[in-house]
Amino acid sequence: MWAATRASIATKGFGARLLSLQDRDGQWAGGAFFPAEFDFAGPEAAEQGSQPWTATTWTLNSLREWGLDASVLRERRTAELLAENCRWEYEGRPYWDGEVDCCINAWTVANGVWLDMRVDELADWFVQHQLPDGGWNCEWIEGSTRSSFHSTLNSLKGLLAYEIATGGNKGDVRGSTIR
């Protein structure tokens, strides 16, 4: 029963709708974390907590968490197209290289291993950005030195996906590398 339900994600309902909205360059809504037309200086950016949930990272997260078989996106060359065409809005780094935000990087690691991308260096990023109290905070770039529960949980989920996918062989994320 679950296999039939999982297979239907690509052809029915929200999963099929999201797949139909994928841009030719592999992205969704023309952006990595924000849609291409998002106005960072406009009223939508000024609203506290405003986030358009239609861009690439959010869509990949949804499809992965809903259980879409990654082969659907592999057939579309999604990971390769993102490597060629997608850049983060902050600093313009290539998509699979990650960003400065630990939550975004955790989702990128999880999505990367799901799509068979090499994200070893991004997984290693977490070791270098772990805070002295043992966790992570997306606001570290703004000077925060105290871990956030939400940021730490997201980071650990991304690292767990990496460890499951790699067996901990490259950049072994278990034991001594993580305080």
CA distance 99 to 178: 20
Q: Outline where the chain has alpha helix (H).
A: 2-8, 13-20, 43-46, 56-66, 71-75, 78-85, 102-114, 120-128, 149-166
Task: List per-residue pLDDT tens for the chain, 179 residues long.
Answer: 888 989 999 999 999 999 999 999 999 999 999 999 888 777 776 665 556 789 999 999 999 999 999 999 999 999 999 999 999 999 999 999 999 999 999 999 999 999 999 999 999 999 999 999 999 999 999 999 999 999 999 999 999 999 999 997 764 433 333 33
Contacts of residue 62, defined as CB under 8 A and 6 or more positions apart, other chains included, come to 14, 18
pTM over 0.85: yes
